[in-house]
Amino acid sequence: EAGVTQFPSHSVIEKGQTVTLRCDPISGHDNLYWYRRVMGKEIKFLLHFVKESKQDESGMPNNRFLAERTGGTYSTLKVQPAELEDSGVYFCASSPPPTRTEAFFGQGTRLTVV
């Protein structure tokens, strides 16, 4: 069975540009989470989808970040315009219902804003 896949694995963009990260969860997993690790800091929660609905977006840093999950399958996280402090590793994780079950992580997208 395919795991959680993220694309791209690496992205280097200039400040002010737009970047879109994609996450394909494990098939049948209603729960999809985005997390981010900024260098030197802990992994931090960004938001949680249940199917196509945003359950919790309390971790989104600001309105330059937009997450979508159309149709309740894959998700995208767009950063527009990107700032230097957005650099880090963005992880996606998915889990089947109920939410107590183990979350499986993708390998992450390493974003560098220069």
Under the rule (CB under 8 A), what is the footprint of another protein?
4, 31, 33, 35, 41-45, 48, 55-56, 91, 93, 95, 98-103, 105-108
CB of 92 to another protein, least distance (A): 9
Q: Report in angstroms how near the CB of residue 42 gets to another protein at its nearest.
A: 4
The angle subtended at Cα 111 by Cα 106 and Cα 113, nearest 5°, is 170
Phi, psi of 91 (to 5 degrees): -105, 145
97: left (phi over 0), alpha (psi -120 to 50) or beta: beta
Comparing CB distances to another protein, the nearer of 88 and 108 is 108
